[in-house]
Amino acid sequence: MKAIILAGGKGTRGKPYTEFFPKAMSPIDDKPLIDYVVKYLKSFNFIKEVIIVSDFNGLGGQIKNYFGNQKNISFVQDSQSGTGGDLLHIEKNLKGESEFLLWFVDNLCAVDIKKMRDIFKEKKSSATIATRTKRKEETGFAIVENGIIKEFKEKPIMKLQLSECLGIYMLGPDIIKRIKKLKKKEINLSFDILQQLSKEGKISAFDVGDSEWIDAESPMVLERNQKTVKKIIKQMGL
């Protein structure tokens, strides 16, 4: 199986830092974010190749320079045609694959990819998306009765009413076929493809349970959530 890391985003939420380096190169203990993602993916013996998609003609060139000629890592230039368009752009790299993993680089989480793959096959899904139903809040909450605060809850773990979708997907080859049928210059994987598949009951969910997750949108977020980041890296076994 192959794993694709999408690292070509503009990083608008990470400015001004991302004007000088891509989000994927945000530092965590002297190593870039993407280094942890790649090492984690490679820890699963059924993942034979990691394909990194980015704008290597721009800031993404820093990613390519970092990894150099490491074994089983390849690079594909961002097609600038949306998340779905990127998959179509690398179709030739996925020939013969019964499924592949898609990982948006700003997701830091020790997702059990083996179990996620098992769910994908068991449900005979077109796609399986990593989700979570619990979230530790960054702000404090209060229990209010008749306008009076009765108790404070400092940064509680909240049970979500809706499952939150993380940027980690297991996808089947029929996803590529669906993308091909769309005659659009820019294709958004979620809205243009997965939305319809969900209505057809072809998308399964893999709840990450108690595994921590963070949206590593910028160095500021990583710095502010150092404890969580270190916990995730430990859960990753890195």
Place of tokens 């000088």: 20
Contact 78, 54 (CB under 8 A): yes
75-110 pLDDT, tens per residue? 999 888 888 888 888 888 888 889 999 999 999 999
Q: For residues 191 and 165, what is the distance between their CA atoms, to the nearest angstrom?
A: 13
Domain residue limits, the chain: 2-133+160-235
Q: At what angle do helices 174-181 and 82-89 cross, to 10 degrees?
A: 110
185-232 pLDDT, tens per residue? 888 999 999 999 999 999 999 999 888 999 998 888 999 899 999 999
Is pLDDT above 90 for 17?
Answer: no
Class at the top of the CATH hierarchy for domain 2-133+160-235: alpha beta
The model carries a pTM of 0.89
Q: For residues 166 and 180, what is the distance between their CA atoms, to the nearest angstrom?
A: 25
Letter string b/e over residues 59-75, b meaning 16 or more CB atoms within 10 A of that residue's CB: bbebbeeebeeeeebeb
Distances (CA, A) of 173 to 19, 43, 86, 184: 35, 24, 14, 19
Residue 99 has, within 13 A of its CA and on its CB side, a CA count of 21
| Residue 12 pLDDT level (bands cut at 50, 70, 90) | low
Q: For residues 237 and 164, what is the distance between their CA atoms, to the nearest angstrom?
A: 24
